[in-house]
Amino acid sequence: MNRPPLGPLHVLTDAGGGPQALAAVAAAVAAGAPVVQVRAKDCTDRVL
């Protein structure tokens, strides 16, 4: 079966992920991820 290549993927991360999450996001962005979504359920918009 011949499948088309995947389009760009975006990264989801939790705001409480710490340095390991930051390193993973930095690597994904360096590899070409066009979007990073940060989940921070306990934060207000102002804090973000």
Contact present, 15 and 38 (Cβ < 8 Å): yes
Whether the pLDDT of residue 6 is over 80: the answer is no
Output the pLDDT for position 4. 77
Domain boundaries, the chain: 7-48
pLDDT in tens, 26-35: 999 999 999 9
- Exposed, middle or buried by CB within 10 Å (0-12, 13-18, 19+), for 21? middle
Half-sphere exposure (CA, 13 Å, Cβ side) for 47?
A: 8
* Top-confidence residue, 8 or 36: 36
Over pLDDT 70: what percentage of the chain?
96
Task: Provide the pLDDT confidence category of residue 38 given band limits of 50, 70 and 90.
Answer: confident
19-to-8, 15, 28 alpha-carbon distances in Å: 24, 10, 14
Per the CB < 8 A criterion, the answer to whether 37 and 12 are in contact is: yes
Q: Tokens representing 11?
A: 């990264």
